[in-house]
Amino acid sequence: MPLRLYNTLSRKKEVFKPLKNKQVKLYTCGPTVYWYQHIGNLRMYLSWDILKRVLKYNNFNVKHVMNITDVGHLTSDADTGEDKIEKAAKKEEKRAEDIVKYYLKVFKDDFKKLNIIEPDVWPRASKHIKEQINMIKILEKKGFTYKIKDGIYFDTSKLKDYGKLAKLKKEGLKEGKRIDKGEKRNKTDFALWKFSKQPSKRQQEWKSPWGIGYPGWHLECSAMSSKYLGKQFDIHTGGQEHIPVHHTNEIAQSESAFGKKPWVKYWMHGAWLLFKGEKVSKSKGGLYTISELEKKGFDALDYRYFCLNKQYGKPLNFSLKNLEFARNTRKRLKEIISKIKNSREKKNKKNVEAAKKQFLEIINDDINTPKALSFLWDVLRSDKLNNAEKYELVIEFDKIFGLDLDKEEKISIPIEIKKLIAKRQTARKNKDFTTADKLREKIKSKGYYINDTEHGAKVRKL
């Protein structure tokens, strides 16, 4: 069963075939690091992590690039408003560089907690100004740019197929609800380079052939992907909100500059995380961070398990109650696995291979994680498979799920309990079993259970 992926460009599920042999070049629009990434953002990165695992599972070599936006992303998609990083720096009275460093670190920590495989390259926009200026120069030479008071703009009317990804209709755009075009020639034209206002209050600005300023937000993705993946590549991923503006403009400038069509072969978009039926947002709620969920007693992998219950392209309803359900199910799953782990039964290779094949068919159908997850449960409940076979399959499937199903859960034991455990160990050493038993009861009354094994005392929460 070949891998099939839904391509936004064709609005169809297509058989995936890379441009070159088994090499897959993958680009993901990364975060703007001016604040914490909430679970809605993180759902997207989890989806692309599963995609990457599925590609690897199908024996493709993947080179993954994910940008970090640290300049140029304005508070409005229409090239107006403040630069998000500059705004945060002002508000927190810090250097822009410190804002970026801090939120990038939190983001990377969340990746680790969620078991997301890191991209091969994390390029930052502010470190690729030269590449972005070069790209504007090419577009200028080819006649796609014009200058107005606040910057250099891309003239979208020069492209016949502008808006093909979003299936934008030119007529609709003329009366569209976007903001006034101001000095722009067309409403859909977008900034390639913005001039700093004079006198400048910006922390991040650079010299350019057109004047001091900073790059437009869309430009970084085109300039940096071409640097690390080439002028044409296989898969571009991002949130569905990027289809009409950000990705549409990335295509416009890249195809104009590089002259390759299509610039990207497969476009994949993740659906939103919903809270009370609407996209998680400041006004609607649901904007939790991973640390906030941890404070509520969840593990980041509970959230990972929760996300697997919906295919990446479908909206997913979040609530703490749903997450609690995911936590309990994941716990049950791990308990079952620890029970079948040491089975010595003889495996029937045929049974195992048949189940693996079935799993591959499911996951290769546009990354159908909910169906793959229920298949995992079918395997565990099956009376045709023995425990040794089940265990081998679970470990195999977890290459995609990334749930650490084989790993023992780490529990953080309070110091008070640790002290009681140490006391009990001493008592046992001195063969004072009455005290040891009393201490075991005391520990139990505080919610922890001790199991004496040949490898020492194992503690778990009751």
The span of 27-35, 82-90, 91-99, 132-140 binding Zn ion (CB under 5 A) equals: 27-35
Q: Least distance to Zn ion from the beta carbon of 302, Å?
A: 30
C-beta of 251 vs 380, nearer to Zn ion = 251
Contact window for Zn ion (CB under 5 A) among 72-80, 214-222, 362-370, 400-408: 214-222
Residue 456's Cβ-count burial label (10 Å; 0-12, 13-18, 19+) is exposed
State the nearest-atom distance from the C-beta of 257 to Zn ion, in Å: 15
Task: Report 318-377 residues binding Zn ion (CB under 5 A).
Answer: none
Contact assessment for residue 45 and residue 28, using Cβ atoms and an 8 Å cutoff = yes
Stretch touching Zn ion by CB under 5 A, among 147-155, 220-228, 275-283, 427-435: 220-228
Q: What separation in angstroms does the CA of 423 have from each of 131, 411, 427, 456?
A: 63, 20, 6, 14
Piece of 170-178, 213-221, 340-348, 439-447 that binds Zn ion (CB under 5 A): 213-221
How far is it, in rounded angstroms, from Cα 378 to Cα 392?
A: 14
Shorter beta-carbon distance to Zn ion: residue 29 or 420: 29
In the complex with Zn ion, the residue whose CB is nearer, 7 or 222, is 222
Min dist. Cβ of residue 221 to Zn ion (A): 3
Applying CB under 5 A, which part among 185-193, 217-225, 289-297, 405-413 lies near Zn ion? 217-225
Nearer to Zn ion, 29 or 388 (CB): 29
Q: Which CB, 184 or 269, lies closer to Zn ion?
A: 269
Report the residue number, 100 or 221, with the smaller CB distance to Zn ion.
Answer: 221
Given the complex with Zn ion, which of 139 and 336 has the nearer CB atom? Answer: 139
Tokens of 42: 């993180």
Which residue in the set 221, 307, 308, 367 belongs to the binding site for Zn ion (CB under 5 A)? Answer: 221
Which CB, 28 or 208, lies closer to Zn ion?
Answer: 28
Q: Which amino acid is at 440?
A: R
CB of 220 to Zn ion, least distance (A): 7
Give the shortest CB-250-to-Zn ion separation in angstroms.
6
Segment interacting with Zn ion, rule: CB under 5 A, options 46-54, 219-227, 270-278, 299-307: 219-227
Give the nearest distance from C-beta 219 to Zn ion in angstroms. Answer: 10
What length is written for the chain?
462
The least distance separating Zn ion from the CB of residue 319, rounded to whole angstroms, comes to: 30
Choose between 43 and 246: whose C-beta lies nearer to Zn ion.
246
Please tell me the count of residues contacting Zn ion according to CB under 5 A: 2
Check if the beta carbon of residue 47 is closer than 8 Å to that of residue 191: no
Q: How far is the CB of 190 from Zn ion (least distance, A)?
A: 13
How far apart are CB 217 and Zn ion at their closest, in Å?
Answer: 8
List of long-range contacts for 408-411, beta carbons under 8 Å, 24+ apart: 408/338, 409/299, 409/334, 411/459, 411/460, 411/461
Kindly state the smallest distance separating residue 146's Cβ from Zn ion, in Å. Answer: 23
Question: Which residue among 29, 136, 251, 257 contacts Zn ion (CB under 5 A)?
Answer: 29
Q: Which is nearer to Zn ion, 221 or 243 (CB)?
A: 221
Among the residue ranges 155-163, 215-223, 325-333, 368-376, the one whose residues contact Zn ion (CB under 5 A): 215-223
Tell me which stretch binds Zn ion (CB under 5 A): 21-29, 38-46, 76-84, 173-181.
21-29
- List the structure tokens of 97: 């560089």
**Backbone dihedral region of 297: left (phi > 0), alpha (psi from -120 to 50 degrees) or beta?**
left
Contact set for Zn ion, span 256-285 (CB under 5 A):
none
Which CB sits closer to Zn ion, 29 or 373?
A: 29
Q: How far is the CB of 228 from Zn ion (least distance, A)?
A: 13
CB 164 within 8 A of CB 180: no
Buried b / exposed e over 219-231, threshold 16 CB at 10 Å, is: bbbbbbbbbbbee
For residue 108, the minimal CB distance to Zn ion (Å) is: 19
Angle at 37 between CA 274 and CA 239, to 5 degrees: 55
Tokens of 75: 């508070």
Structure tokens belonging to residue 61: 């070599």
For Zn ion, the closer of residues 236 and 390 by Cβ is 236
Say which residue the tokens 């809270």 belong to.
275
Task: Report whether 326 contacts 297 (CB < 8 A).
Answer: no
Residues in touch with Zn ion (CB under 5 A): 29, 221
